[in-house]
Amino acid sequence: MWKNVFTPNKDIAKPLYTGAGIATFILLLLFWSILSYGGFVNPLFLPAPDKIVKSAVTMFQSGEIWTDIGISFSRVALGFILAAVIGVPLGMLMGSLRVMQGAFEPIIGFIRYMPASAFIPLLILWIGLGEGEKMAVIFLGTFFQLTLMVMDVTKNIQNELIEVSYTLGAKSFQLFKRVILPASLPGIVDTLRITFGWAWTYLVVAELVGASDGLGFMIMQASRFLKPDKIIVGILIIGVLGLIMDLIFKAIYRASFSWMRKEGS
Amino acid sequence: MTTTPKLVIDNVGKVFSTKSGQVVALDRTSFSVEEGEFVTILGPSGCGKSTILRVVAGLEEPSSGHVYLDGKEIKGPGPDRGMVFQSYTLYPWLSVKDNITFGLDLKGVPKKQQDEIAFHYLDLIGLKGFDKHYPIQLSGGMKQRVAIARALANDPQILLMDEPFGALDAQTRTIMQEILLKVWEESKKTILFITHDVEESIFLGDSIYVMTARPGRLKKNIKVPLPRPRDYQNKHSEDFLALKLELLDLIREESLKAVNP
């Protein structure tokens, strides 16, 4: 059971692996409990674990949190879908046509270093405080990275795979549809999974400034009314939502690309 | 009676521009391949033998000279010249059968006919019953057999093979050579085959072109005196061994030059 625990790169027993993960969670919870129940910190700043659970229960029972979750989720989804709908085809073209890479890589490479949150004041001036502004922040935060990552995925297709397709008679359009797209699809799905996680980060940024609903707004309000328990519940909800989306993407990946696994479908 | 050769390589040369100047990968080279002939090109590594093949495939433009297939000049890649690479190039997302019919599907050949052709070649390469497998489930030798079947299913005028068995272990390679000869005898295709393996060049070829080290040039053309059909026992015949010694000498000279230029 304890074999190889401290040997680099060696596999260990499965229960030991899972147990290590659970132990870390418990340690963190224990540390928190000591701090709060032991009276080392002011409950105004860090409420005790049971207080958080109670707040979460009341928040879900009263139901208003569901509206915030729904609004936040639709903002993330719409902003992100817009970024993906433009970014994925553009990234694929940049990865396969040198002229597209030459045209777009310098500018995208430059803009992606400008923090999306710094655009918020400008976006508010341009499009106001409505839904458009929230989506625009999420779009700006994910689009450029996503496009460059898709470009890399497409560029990394084995060159011989393209060449052999030419010798089998593929023309440019057929090459895109039948070789470049399926070859880069697993990498694209993985890129979407990673960038969707970032989209959540920008959502909170967008909702902290000039929003009147959503999870970010709820967190901001809780801060104003000195309710740290509600802040923590809000943060946990965002974390759980992100985790669920991650698992969904992974499930899609597994279901769609069975040809990548030795045992087949 | 004079017939035009199947493939004519006329004064083909290739120069690459690098930061440190121009590198001659292939000196002006001319030779021709007859219809149905199995020609092997033997050379040390880095002698530009792959460059010849890539020019014939249309994947690389020659710096000088021309290539003609059936009297028509080659301008770019096309389905009339099938290619098998050393690296594995099967489409991992397609089943073995769909890999084989990839070219046929591009051409719009009816499904029923595609199936017939696919099963014919599956049988020929000894992979009957593997039609629904995916490339990841195949061994290296199996993958290369499917790659050969995929190229042949397209019914090309010539099959170009760039060290297709180079990544396989010695035992598998021998078996693959025999399978390839069987396939060639059945399909009667013209084959241009690149290798650095002396035995392979003799066992497979009707005619061997030996190349010099960089810059690549044809050093010698040798007709292989072995009878057809051949099997692995031919590798022990006197003719085979004599030719092998001669070629080993030639290739050793060139390899030494490549190592100590």
Least CB–CB distance from B106: residue in A170, A257, A262: A170
pLDDT 10s digits, B174-228:
999 999 999 999 999 999 999 999 999 999 999 999 998 878 888 899 999 999 8
Fold of B7-87+158-259: Rossmann fold (3.40.50)
Q: What is the pLDDT along chain A (265 residues), one digit of tens a residue?
A: 777 888 888 888 889 999 999 999 999 999 999 999 998 999 888 999 999 999 999 999 998 899 999 999 999 999 999 999 999 999 999 999 999 999 999 999 999 899 888 899 999 999 988 899 999 999 999 999 999 999 999 999 999 999 999 999 999 899 999 999 999 999 999 999 999 988 988 988 889 887 889 999 999 999 999 999 999 999 999 999 999 999 999 999 999 998 988 765 4
Please judge whether B85 and A178 are an interchain contact, meaning their C-beta atoms are less than 8 angstroms apart: no
What average pLDDT is seen over chain B?
Answer: 92
Provide the shortest C-alpha distance from residue B260 to chain A (in Å). 31
Provide the shortest C-alpha distance from residue B153 to chain A (in Å). 10
Which residues on adjacent β-strands are paired with residue A235? none
Whether domain A50-260 has CATH 3.30.930.10: no
Provide the shortest C-alpha distance from residue A189 to chain B (in Å). 15
**Residue range B18-41: mean pLDDT, rounded:** 91
**Closest-approach residue (CA) in chain A for B156:** A168
Least CB–CB distance from B154: residue in A158, A161, A168: A168
Q: Which helix (H) or strand (E) holds B256?
A: helix B238-259
Domain ranges in chain B are 7-87+158-259
Least CB–CB distance from B81: residue in A167, A182, A257: A167
Contact residues on chain B for A161, CB-CB shorter than 8 A = 89, 91
So what's the pLDDT on residue A9?
A: 86
Please judge whether B78 and A167 are an interchain contact, meaning their C-beta atoms are less than 8 angstroms apart: yes
**Closest-approach residue (CA) in chain A for B158:** A167
Please judge whether B92 and A259 are an interchain contact, meaning their C-beta atoms are less than 8 angstroms apart: yes
3-state secondary structure chain A: CCCCCCCCCCCCCHHHHHHHHHHHHHHHHHHHHHHHHCCCCCCCCCCCHHHHHHHHHHHHHHCHHHHHHHHHHHHHHHHHHHHHHHHHHHHHHHHHCHHHHHHHHHHHHHHCCCCHHHHHHHHHHHHCCCHHHHHHHHHHHHHHHHHHHHHHHHHCCCHHHHHHHHHCCCCHHHHHHHHHHHHHHHHHHHHHHHHHHHHHHHHHHHHHCCCCCCHHHHHHHHHHCCCHHHHHHHHHHHHHHHHHHHHHHHHHHHHHCHHHCCCCC
A182 reaches B (C-beta below 8 A): yes
B183 reaches A (C-beta below 8 A): no
Contact residues on chain A for B160, CB-CB shorter than 8 A = 167
Integer Cα distance of B138 and A112 in angstroms: 42
Please judge whether A161 and B58 are an interchain contact, meaning their C-beta atoms are less than 8 angstroms apart: no
So what's the pLDDT on residue B221?
A: 92
Provide the shortest C-alpha distance from residue A161 to chain B (in Å). 5
Task: Give the largest CA-CA distance in chain B.
Answer: 57
Residue B16 has pLDDT above 80, yes or no: yes
So what's the pLDDT on residue B52?
A: 93
**Residue range B7-17: mean pLDDT, rounded:** 92
Please judge whether A168 and B151 are an interchain contact, meaning their C-beta atoms are less than 8 angstroms apart: yes
ipTM for the predicted complex: 0.92
Residue B14 has pLDDT above 70, yes or no: yes
So what's the pLDDT on residue A264?
A: 53
**Closest-approach residue (CA) in chain A for B132:** A264
B139 reaches A (C-beta below 8 A): no
pLDDT 10s digits, B110-157:
999 999 999 999 999 999 999 999 999 999 999 999 999 999 999 999
A179 reaches B (C-beta below 8 A): yes
Provide the shortest C-alpha distance from residue B179 to chain A (in Å). 22
So what's the pLDDT on residue B112?
A: 96
Provide the shortest C-alpha distance from residue A12 to chain B (in Å). 27
Contact residues on chain B for A162, CB-CB shorter than 8 A = none
CB B8 within 8 A of CB B32: yes
Please judge whether A168 and B81 are an interchain contact, meaning their C-beta atoms are less than 8 angstroms apart: no
**Closest-approach residue (CA) in chain B for A169:** B79
Residue B1 has pLDDT above 50, yes or no: no
Least CB–CB distance from B107: residue in A165, A169, A179: A169
So what's the pLDDT on residue A117?
A: 86
Provide the shortest C-alpha distance from residue B258 to chain A (in Å). 26
Contact residues on chain A for B154, CB-CB shorter than 8 A = 168-169
So what's the pLDDT on residue B2?
A: 57
**Closest-approach residue (CA) in chain B for A256:** B93
Which of A159, A164, A176 to probe by mutation at the B interface, max B CB count within 10 Å? A164
* Concatenated DSSP letters of B55-124: HHHTSS--SEEEEEETTEEP-S--TTEEEE-SS----TTS-HHHHHTHHHHHHT--HHHHHHHHHHHHHH
So what's the pLDDT on residue A262?
A: 77
Please judge whether B59 and A257 are an interchain contact, meaning their C-beta atoms are less than 8 angstroms apart: no
Contact residues on chain A for B91, CB-CB shorter than 8 A = 161, 179, 182-183
A86 reaches B (C-beta below 8 A): no
